Structure 1
Amino acid sequence: MSHLSVSEWGRVPVLDRPDDAGFTRTQANALITAARAHPLGGDEGTGILSDHYRHLTARQMVGMIAAPGCSLEILPKIDPAEGEDIETRSTVRQRLVRMLDVALGLNIGDGAAASMARQQDSLLDILIRIFADKLLTEARRGLPRMYLAQEQDLPALRGRLNVVRQFTAHAVRPDRLACRFDALSNDIPLLQVMKACVIALRRHARAGATIRKLDELRFVLADISDVGVSALPWGSVRIDRTNRRWETLYGLARLFLKRDWQATHRASDAGQGITLLFPMNDLFEAYVAALMRKAIRPLDLSVESQGGRLFCLIEEGGRGRFQTKPDLILRRRPKDGGKVVAIIDTKWKRLSPLVEDRKHGVSQSDVYQMMAYGQLYDCRELVLLYPHHAGLGETGLTLPYRVSNSVDRLHLRSLDVRLREPLILDQLSGMSTLWVTSNRVTEAFPA
């Protein structure tokens, strides 16, 4: 099976004969077919890959796309100056795992992600290994159990008598009692999901150590019912204080088996593999939102993601048109009035250095959109947040602008996702503190 890695907007050669440097035309066609069938594929699969006959171009998706006999890993990239060597790719892969960990709330842990991402495994290999390691650790500590309703015909009464069954099926069998009772069992929905995930991943794992761990897990879960992926009891899974330590594993299982916002796609062909794709714009937004919630805790603010929902226009009959959904809204708690402190729009785009473009490549439509947000939500601090890259200098970019004929300010800021989370939290906390202070000054001395 051919496996290649490429960065966002990167090219993969299409060759006349099999080679480690590219895909054959048959493999390229299979990947394009998989892209077209994927929920994120868009028009003719161009949302994931575009076909230029002699090469395939990756779009702004990251993760894995699989087809029969081949797979392609797409890694995030924001700085064209970054190299393409193995060491750099392993660093980018580690960064991607960290972003997924924070954005999806998987609680993988930075140490585990870093140690695995240093190897030459793909993103899928890393996530499978993390799942296998964590599940084996928790299984050795003991499987969760719960009381399940049982119905059995027994020689002695246990629990309650099933009167209807007793006087129909056992009317002439006084030696048999139809019993209803609750029994403590491991065969619960949570473990049925875990077993289904282990079986599915066993077909796609490539590392020998990971395969051995998955085989051991199948033995440990031998008494759990085999349930097909389409019939898994997702709605019956309950995470509470008794099984809280399984929450991360349940999140990983959903990542592999369900189609959530990242649009995991599993083909019916077992040889095709698992496709894990994440729109990079959405991932960056979720990553910033998760960190911002931690950063503003001391400030007693709240964060709304894709909230607001105010309309730009109202018809004569009162019906709204052109609904707005700002990426992130920072507002005070309801007890403090719930006023909007700042609105942040995240953009996974490359800001141009000043020497290249005095407007830094910021889209005019993005500016208009932020001005509309300021008007609709009565917000003074508007922020366009971009990923940082080396071309912008050593520190994060900070450019405040005053909106014409208004006290509103539009900030261009960059956030360096290469930093460790504590440093990013410090940056976000500093930004939020300034915005809160600015709002208090404006309220005390209105224009």
Structure 2
Amino acid sequence: MTHKSVHEWGRVPVGEGGFTRAEANQLLAAARAHPCGGAEGTAILADHHKHLTARQVVGVLAGRGCSLEILPKVDPGSPGEDAVTVRRRLIGMLDIALGLDLSSGGAAQLARQGETLLDILIRLFADRLLDEVRRGLPRRYLLCEDDLPALRGRMDVVRQFTHHAVRPDRLACRFDSLESDTPLLQIMKAAVVFLGKHVRAAETRRRLTELRHLLDEVSDVPPASLPWDRVQLDRSNRRWRSLFDLAKLFLKRDWQATHHREKAGEGITLLFPMNDLFESYVASLLRRALAGTDIEVTEQGGLKYCLGEWREGEACEGHLFQTRPDILLRRGGQIVAIIDTKWKAISEPFEGKGGVSQADVYQLMAYARIYDCDHLMLLYPSVPGGAEGERKSFGMTAGMERLRVAQVDIATSREDAIQSLGGLFADMSIPTQFGTAA
């Protein structure tokens, strides 16, 4: 199987030293079939005959007999970092954005061994699930029905006098039984079976095989029929929450970019648009930074419209061109700040417009008007080793609104990033008491 790695906007040769044309066509077909592929899959991968160009989507794209790992890169023009460092950073962003509660130490060790993103996620899932299964399977009382020689539980009177009217030696019983064949474990087993078909590392394959034996008493349920809505996570099994989220990552499309195909030999496609991932990453950090305050963090909220019917002397009720700001900060239902995240680099040093696009400024001006909000921010990632925090503060013409341009360092630790974001909003003239980051 041919496997290659590339950064966002990077090129992969087709021909000598790269994929064959047949393999390239397989990858292009996978990109076209993916939900975030856009027109002809060009939002993921572009074909230039002698090379393929990756777009602003990261993860693993798989075709028959080949796969391509796309790693994040803020600035296409900057020197590329080594894959181990970038891959470890991406694992950290996924952990924070999706709440996967991954082991950072384990992920770092696997990254140093040259494992791909998909290999790392599968191995972490297998290791954590094996630890939990060895501690004991969570069990629940399930309602069972069976025909027994002695009464157990209570009798099913209707069935007894219809099916067993002439069989006094058989009793139709209904009873509760403490079983491990629960919806949660059915999903875990389905993930183990599915990943076992596509795993590449021998040690991970061995662990998945062991898991299949340990989960032998759990029913095999096809992925399309899994009982997702019947899973109950409570205090008795809450330690399984992150495993459940990882299983969804492999088996469902809950996070808008996750996708897989079940045809044998095609592998697993697991992709994340970097703009969406960065937005979720920032929102998750902000929730921790603002923990203990009266500020609520909302993603993709607002939903007000730009235009509506004009009537003289009346306030307009919009119904055309709906808006969806990336992140809203609310207090008591009132929007106190709007943040628009952008996964791209701004100029170093920041001079003039600083690489901020005119369209982005227009968008924030519209938000200020529609949501009657004075505090606005364009938030960018900083390039490795670059500046962070607020870079520039602008006022809006003929108004009191303040538009700030800021950066957050994605290469720093989670605690430092939380502190940096908390500092950005502590001096936004929004009166609040900042508690300790969770």
Does residue 421 (structure 1) correspond to residue 377 (structure 2)? The answer is: no
Counterpart-to-counterpart distance in 2, 1:339 and 1:39:
34
Offset of residue 432 of structure 1: 1.5
Counterpart-to-counterpart distance in 2, 1:243 and 1:362:
47
Partner of 1:38: 34
Counterpart-to-counterpart distance in 1, 2:335 and 2:75:
33
Partner of 1:108: 102
Does residue 372 (structure 1) correspond to residue 371 (structure 2)? The answer is: no
Counterpart-to-counterpart distance in 2, 1:397 and 1:352:
13
Offset of residue 419 of structure 1: 0.5
| Secondary structure class of the residue paired with 2:403 | strand
Cα shift readout 1:79-115 (whole Å, capped 9, x = no counterpart): 3465446xx2111000101111111111113222222
Q: TM-score scaled to structure 1, two decimals? A: 0.92
Cα shift readout 1:41-95 (whole Å, capped 9, x = no counterpart): 111110110100000000100000000010000000013465446xx21110001
| Secondary structure class of the residue paired with 1:265 | coil
Offset of residue 128 of structure 1: 0.3
What is the letter of the counterpart of residue 211 of structure 1? Answer: R
Does residue 400 (structure 1) correspond to residue 399 (structure 2)? The answer is: no
Counterpart-to-counterpart distance in 2, 1:265 and 1:409:
40
- Say which of 184, 192, 215 aligns to 2:186: 192
Partner of 2:289: 295
Offset of residue 403 of structure 1: 1.1
Task: Answer yes or no: is the 8 Å Cα contact 1:351–1:386 preserved in 2.
Answer: yes
- Say which of 112, 115, 140 aligns to 1:146: 140
Offset of residue 263 of structure 1: 2.8
Cα gap change, 1:294 to 1:125, in 2 (>3 Å): same
Partner of 1:78: 74
Q: TM-score scaled to structure 2, two decimals? A: 0.94
Equivalent runs, 1:169-208 vs 2, <5 Å: 169-208=163-202
Task: Answer yes or no: is the 8 Å Cα contact 2:103–2:124 preserved in 1.
Answer: no
Task: Answer yes or no: is the 8 Å Cα contact 1:262–1:276 preserved in 2.
Answer: no
Equivalent runs, 1:302-321 vs 2, <5 Å: 302-316=296-310, 318=317, 320-321=319-320
| Secondary structure class of the residue paired with 2:163 | coil
Equivalent runs, 1:340-355 vs 2, <5 Å: 340-354=335-349
Gapped regions of structure 2 (runs ≥ 5): 312-316, 433-438
Partner of 2:435: none
Partner of 1:66: 62
Cα gap change, 1:130 to 1:362, in 2 (>3 Å): same
Offset of residue 339 of structure 1: 2.8
Counterpart-to-counterpart distance in 2, 1:12 and 1:313:
45
Offset of residue 245 of structure 1: 0.5
Partner of 2:327: 328
Counterpart-to-counterpart distance in 1, 2:79 and 2:63:
28
What is the letter of the counterpart of residue 50 of structure 1? Answer: A
Counterpart-to-counterpart distance in 2, 1:34 and 1:404:
47
Partner of 1:445: none
Cα gap change, 1:174 to 1:440, in 2 (>3 Å): closer
Counterpart-to-counterpart distance in 1, 2:384 and 2:177:
61
Cα shift readout 1:151-199 (whole Å, capped 9, x = no counterpart): 1111111111111111111111111110011100000110000001001
Does residue 26 (structure 1) correspond to residue 22 (structure 2)? The answer is: yes
Offset of residue 259 of structure 1: 1.3
| Secondary structure class of the residue paired with 1:137 | helix
Counterpart-to-counterpart distance in 1, 2:407 and 2:122:
32
Task: Answer yes or no: is the 8 Å Cα contact 1:311–1:323 preserved in 2.
Answer: yes
Counterpart-to-counterpart distance in 2, 1:137 and 1:69:
32
Offset of residue 272 of structure 1: 0.7
What is the letter of the counterpart of residue 285 of structure 1? Answer: E
Gapped regions of structure 1 (runs ≥ 5): 442-447
What is the letter of the counterpart of residue 118 of structure 1? Answer: R
Partner of 2:210: 216
Same amino acid, percent of matched pairs: 57
Partner of 1:89: 83
- Say which of 117, 121, 131 aligns to 1:127: 121
Question: For this pair of structures, how many residues does the alignment match?
Answer: 427
What is the letter of the counterpart of residue 42 of structure 2? Answer: T
Does residue 14 (structure 1) correspond to residue 9 (structure 2)? The answer is: no
- Say which of 149, 153, 161 aligns to 1:155: 149
Partner of 1:444: none
Does residue 48 (structure 1) correspond to residue 66 (structure 2)? The answer is: no
Counterpart-to-counterpart distance in 2, 1:153 and 1:299:
59
| Secondary structure class of the residue paired with 1:3 | strand
Cα gap change, 1:161 to 1:216, in 2 (>3 Å): same
Task: Answer yes or no: is the 8 Å Cα contact 2:257–2:273 preserved in 1.
Answer: no
Cα shift readout 1:252-303 (whole Å, capped 9, x = no counterpart): 0000000122432222322110000000000000000001001011332111
Cα shift readout 1:129-152 (whole Å, capped 9, x = no counterpart): 000000000001110000111111
Task: Answer yes or no: is the 8 Å Cα contact 2:390–2:424 preserved in 1.
Answer: no
What is the letter of the counterpart of residue 344 of structure 1? Answer: I
What is the letter of the counterpart of residue 414 of structure 1? Answer: Q
Does residue 248 (structure 1) correspond to residue 242 (structure 2)? The answer is: yes
Cα gap change, 1:433 to 1:287, in 2 (>3 Å): same
Task: Answer yes or no: is the 8 Å Cα contact 1:306–1:326 preserved in 2.
Answer: yes
Offset of residue 354 of structure 1: 4.2
Partner of 2:378: 384
Offset of residue 310 of structure 1: 1.5
